[in-house]
Amino acid sequence: ETYKLRIYLNTDLSNCNEGDNLVFKLDYSNITEDINGSQFVSGSPESGNTNVGIDIVATKLVFETNMPPSSNVGVNTNFNVTVHAVDDNGNIDLDANHTVTLALNSGGGTLSSASGLTQNLSSGTYAWTDVQYSISGTFEIEAQNGLLTNALTGIIDTEFGSFKFTIKTDNPGVTNSTSFRLYVFTAGYTFNYDVDWEDDGIWDDFGITTSTTDHDYGVAGTYTIAIRGTFPNIYFNTSNDYLKVLSVEQWGDIAWESFTRAFYGCSNLVINATDAPDLTNAGDMSYIFTGCSSITTGNFGAWDISNITGTTRAFQGCTNFNEDISGWDFSSVQMSPYMFKDCSSFDQDLSGWDFSSIIFSSSLIEFVQNSGLSVTNYDNLIIGWYNQRASMPLNLDLGSAAPGGVFDLHYCVAQPERAALIAAPYNWTFMGDTYDCSTLPIDLVKFDAFAEDSQVKLEWTTASELNSDYFIIERSFSTDGDFEPIGFVDAAGNSNIKIDYTFIDKYPQDINYYRLKQVDFNGEFTYYGPVFIDKSMNTNNFSLNIYPNPAQDILHVNNSENILTISIYSIDGRFIKNCAVGEKIDISDLEMGSYIIKATDEKMNQTTKYFIKQ
């Protein structure tokens, strides 16, 4: 920039004497940076009334120093990037509102930003706080704009991907109030790691191979510790300075070989890390978070536990833990007793977990005892176990000691599956849970299918609804085929009166099975059905009246003289038994729960009704 500055005489010449010094003044005090390209008046009477204007015109982009950092960038961890539009002398052009895009100039990973890699400058600047890089290694970022010279960051190093956690030295522990003890389990493992005790980028100790390392900070406080290198486990195990551990900030690239008892008893621990640990070779994570009552979240859904074989007591006593881990690959786990025992807040759907590697009858003792599983999610778990029963142990004991391995849990629609698992040949032990359908979102009193010319008409009736959002109608063409959605009907939400619903299937085949998927406002769902219709044989369903409903031992049928067969099914369509045809149907041998009664008349017409056994 070229500035025109005014130099003027600051001496009263009327009072000057020979030999006096003349004083001059340099007027620059009213020259400021460009503000939206405006002109301004200097305000100095000595400089006259001439406007002094400064106009900065950007020619290039630059990155602000240390934003982004040159090292210690964690994989998939937010870091800051700030870009300025400047002139050739480095002055920021406050008028610049150019579009700037961050792009990867080198590196094999993926650069991302939740807010977007393309942004508009504001007053010549844009600051990202959420840029991430997907893999370890080195990379380089380019700030791009079609009108200005692009900027390069230089090489950013993520080679070390350190493990970071915070501690508070004056919490209770075996060391004094200004110190911390790092303890690892060395038997059978090889260690060779470095420590940065304050996570300031200055590595303090190198090549540590021993089990115990103490550090005195000199001043009590909260510190973040960074670890890199060969560090196969950490082992607090309710000993040493476990109560001084506050949080995990980053899992990094550490190749863990075991998580057994890693944070056992660390009741102050929270997980702030947004990345996931490398568990490829970890094998066992039993007792990893036992008693960690402060853990709530921690991106656990991103963990890959596909090679983990043991999860005994992994989350026992984590009273505030309720992360969605429904997507975990559980297929290698052989032992998992007490995994969610006393996790009073935990309520997730585990029905998709693969339990096929469970090998002992004791492998799931008290697996979810005293957890927070809702009726829906406990039902889902039981049904998931039932569907995998052929690959799970016989005589599986979920806990027979008082108060019971599934103490204080409640089931409803899974009652038939639970009963089947208890019966031979499976002989599972359920103790402490109770039947409870009081929380079912709807009371379904009818679900029928009728052939109408080339179409099928579905009708269902609810006696009451609670937080019911909508119904999805699903269809299958065989008893063992997959159900696919074919329609959607809004539900009533909340209702205490009978409501009739109708749906027309315009494109059925001859053989059709239908079921309802009722979805709550919170996303939870319950299946009802299926009902069956053979269009090649059935032209009309007939009326079937049953009472009382709910019933205890006897269910009355009003027109039994026209009925050829009567069968009872579970609410999800599993066959239970055939019944003797008559005005009275003996249901005394059924456990409490919801059921479907299916009747066929002499013309092979079929109809179904729902009833509840009390």
Q: Which of 414, 438, 462 is the last residue of a domain?
A: 438
Question: Chain-wide mean pLDDT for the chain?
Answer: 87
Q: Does residue 464 surpass a pLDDT of 90?
A: no
More confident residue, 553 or 21: 553
Span 127-151, average pLDDT:
91
Residue 432 lies in a domain: yes
Residue 177 forms part of a structural domain: no
Cβ proximity of 383 and 358 under 8 Å: no
Q: Average pLDDT, stretch 572-585?
A: 81
- Retrieve residue 453's tokens: 């010319």
Task: Assess if residue 35 is contained within a domain.
Answer: yes
Of 129-143, 239-253, 347-361, where does mean pLDDT reach its minimum?
Answer: 129-143
* Domain contains 204: no
- Residue that wins the pLDDT comparison between 535 and 28: 535
Would you say residue 45 has pLDDT above 60?
no
Q: Among 48-57, 325-334, 520-529, which stretch is predicted with the lowest mean pLDDT?
A: 48-57
User: Dihedral angle at the C-alpha atoms of 362, 368, 370, 374, nearest 10 degrees?
Assistant: -150
**614 and 569 part of one domain:** yes
| Neighbouring residues of 416: CB distance < 8 A, sequence distance ≥ 6 | 570, 571, 572, 574, 576, 591, 593, 595
Question: 536 and 607 in one domain?
Answer: no
Tell me, yes or no, whether 457 lies in a domain. yes
Residues 557-567 as b/e (b if ≥16 CB within 10 A, e otherwise) read: beebeebeebb
* Contact (CB, 8 A) for 161 and 222: no
- pLDDT of the residue at 52: 44
Residue 281 has pLDDT above 80, yes or no: yes
Q: Which of 199, 203, 304 is nearest to 249 (CA)?
A: 199
The CA distance from 398 to 535, in Å, is 45
Mean pLDDT across 385-405: 94
* Residues 412/448, Cβ–Cβ less than 8 Å: no
- Domain of 578: which CATH number? 2.60.40.1930
pLDDT at residue number 50:
44
Q: What integer pLDDT is reported at residue 541 of this predicted model? A: 59
250 burial type by CB count under 10 A (0-12 exposed, 13-18 middle, 19+ buried): buried
- Whether pLDDT at 37 is above 50: no
pLDDT above 80: residue 410: yes
At residue 593, does pLDDT exceed 90? no
Number of folded domains that form the chain: 5
> Span 207-225, mean pLDDT?
97
pLDDT of residue 526: 83
Amino acid letter, residue 78: N
Look at residue 536 in the predicted model and tell me its pLDDT. Answer: 67
Which tokens sit at 147? 């009108």
Which string of b and e fits 6-42 if b means at least 16 CB within 10 Å? beeeeeeeeeeeeeeeeeeeebeeeeeebeeeeeeeb
Examine residue 163 and state whether it is found in any structural domain, yes or no.
no
Q: Which residue range is the domain that position 561 belongs to?
A: 542-614
Query: With 90 as the cut, is the pLDDT of residue 84 above it?
Result: yes
What gap in Å lies between CA 612 and CA 496, rounded to an integer? 18
- Considering the domain architecture, whether residues 13 and 75 belong to the same structural domain is answered as no
400 and 467 co-located in one domain: no
Q: For the chain, how long is the longest CA-to-CA vector?
A: 140
Q: Which of 25-34, 367-376, 541-550 has the lowest average pLDDT?
A: 25-34
Is 284 inside a domain boundary? Answer: no
Residue found under tokens 């890693």: 262
Are 76 and 22 in a shared domain?
no
pLDDT higher than threshold 80 for residue 2: no
In this prediction, residues 543-552 reach a mean pLDDT of 78
For residue 417, give the 3-state DSSP assignment: helix
pLDDT band at 442 (very low <50, low <70, confident <90, very high): confident
Q: pLDDT above 90 covers what percent of the chain?
A: 56
Task: Supply 431's token pair.
Answer: 């103790």
In this prediction, residues 547-573 reach a mean pLDDT of 78
Question: Is residue 41 pLDDT above 60, yes or no?
Answer: no
- Ranked by mean pLDDT, which of 327-336, 527-536, 550-559, 574-583 comes out on top? 327-336
Amino acid 309: pLDDT: 97
Phi and psi at residue 418, to the nearest 5°: -60, -45
Closest of 225, 293, 307 to residue 258, by C-alpha: 307
Number of C-alpha atoms within 13 angstroms, CB side, residue 122? Answer: 5
The last residue of one of the domains, among 506, 540, 574, is 540
Q: Return the DSSP state at 418.
A: H
Task: Provide the 3-class DSSP secondary structure of residue 491.
Answer: strand
**pLDDT above 50: residue 36:** no
Beta-strand pair 546-547/554-557: antiparallel
Closest CA to 268 of 171, 176, 372, 163: 171
Q: What is the CATH number of the domain that holds 491?
A: 2.60.40.10
Among 438, 465, 484, which residue terminates a domain? Answer: 438
Q: State whether residue 270 is helix, strand or coil.
A: strand
**pLDDT interval class at 6 (50, 70, 90):** low
Residues 533 and 552 reside in one and the same domain: no
In the predicted structure, residue 29 carries a pLDDT above the cut 70 = no
Kind of pairing, strands 410-411 and 434-435? Answer: parallel
| CA–CA distances in Å: residue 44 to residues 5, 6, 12, 21, 35 | 11, 10, 17, 23, 19
Q: What percent of the chain has pLDDT over 70?
A: 88
Domain identity same for 430 and 519: no
Asked if 264 and 239 count as a contact pair (C-beta separation under 8 A), the reply is no
Residues 529 and 579 both lie in one domain: no
Question: What is this structure's pTM?
Answer: 0.60
**Termini Cα distance of the chain:** 90
Residue 526 to residues 186, 323, 443, 485, 530: CA-CA distances in angstroms?
A: 50, 22, 11, 14, 12
Identify whether residues 535 and 459 lie together within a single domain. Answer: yes
User: Is there a single domain that holds both residue 47 and residue 86?
Assistant: no
Q: Find the mean pLDDT for residues 327-331.
A: 97
Same domain, 448 and 536: yes
Q: Say if residue 6 is in the same domain as residue 82.
A: no
Give the pLDDT of residue 27. Answer: 65
Q: Is the pLDDT of residue 439 over 70?
A: no
Q: Please report whether residue 109 resides in a domain.
A: yes
Give 43's pLDDT tier (boundaries 50, 70, 90).
very low
C-alpha closest to that of 75 among 207, 196, 164, 197? 164
The residue-averaged pLDDT of 212-221 equals 97
